[in-house]
Amino acid sequence: MVSSLLEIDLDKIKYNTAQVKKICGRQGIKVLGVTKGFSAIPQIVAAMVAGGVDGLADARMENIIKLRNYGFDQEMTLLRIPKLSNVADVVHYTNVSVNSEITVIKALSQAAGKLHSPHQIVLMIDVGDLREGVMAENVLATAKQISRLPGVRLIGLGTNMGCFGGVLPSINNLGLLVELGTCIEKQLGLQIEIISGGATSTLSLVETGIVPAGVNQLRIGEGILLGTDSTNNRKIPWLCDDAFLLRAEVIEFKAKPSVPIGDIGRDAFGNIPQFADEGLRKRAILALGKQDVNIEGITPIDENLKILGASSDHLIVDATDSAANIHVGDAICFRLNYSGILSASQSRYIGKKFYGGNYG
């Protein structure tokens, strides 16, 4: 029995997928549906597939293996640089992996030979965000090394932006990616089939039609799931932003002082809390805590409710300004951002309820 529930509208996931696919398709850009943000829950993946994604992508081999076991046979891309310790699984379960370390690519080559299963490589290029990727001046030499390895084939270049350094995609940094692909083709005679120009943050360039010619793939998770683009701090106006809702049950509702009584020490997480004296306030305690979800990733739908804080198992909400007639046993509803979905989807304490079509 669970007292918190993540509600998922699969029709809205399908709709968002189809919209992203349509706007990208107008510019010759294929869409990989990124499944890592919701722990690759099969029902949601099926809605993405129904919406027309060109392939699936995840950063976790555990998720990819799960999807294969559920029968998903779409082209699968591993989005996190493979670990040396699991190259055999990468070759066996995925079609493509993103890479930046020649040592790992050599190991993939050896695994591909042993398994008699060729593997495709997208070489990640660091264009400024300073997460993974080969620096531009080393791309040609790295591509040359890959071209000599049996069992693996360099099919594309990719880049990541916004996830670490907050760097936004632009005509300049995506143009550099295209130029490097052209350079490899001319100097090494290789065919670069894919220029993977980032993720949801690149959609703003797609909308305005200024993505450099040659970028032909995006890896979309947040936009499909949430209809938002956190890197650019915006709601995407042509997408649904309410496919996910979280409900949590009220287990106490009382008027209490706004400042704790007694000497203040550290809370259960080592922090010293700060309180403003606002007199007596109506407070709802919910059966939801930090063990269930990232509290910073949820926002009450009722804008007059205010999250005061949380412990492992309890969420404290100020309900004084709300017009709602709240009682013990009622449910309070929250929207989630990407970190909220990421945590709620993998929490065994939060139930999952699906609405809409059956896309399995």
List the catalytic residues: 36
Partnered with residue 76 across adjacent β-strands are: 56
- Determine the 3-state secondary structure of 123 from DSSP: strand
User: Alpha-carbon distance 281 to 270, whole Å?
Assistant: 26
Six-digit token string for 293 = 């979800």
For the chain, the 3-state helix, strand and coil shares in percent, each to the nearest 5, are: 30, 25, 40
- Per DSSP, the three-state class of 136 is helix
User: 119: Cβ–Cβ under 8 A, 6 or more apart, which residues?
Assistant: 90, 91, 94, 95, 96, 97, 108, 109, 111, 112, 151, 152, 153
Element (H, E) at 119: strand 119-126
Q: Are 253 and 305 within 8 A, CB to CB?
A: no
Q: Kindly state the DSSP code that residue 127 receives in the 8-state scheme.
A: S
Whether the Cβ atoms of residue 286 and residue 314 lie closer than 8 Å to each other: yes
CB 243 within 8 A of CB 9: yes
Which residue from 311, 317, 342 is spatially nearest to 330, judged by alpha carbons? Answer: 317
**How far is residue 329's CA from residue 346's CA, in Å, rounded to a whole number?**
25
Using DSSP bridges, classify how beta strands 315-318 and 280-286 pair: parallel, antiparallel or unpaired: antiparallel
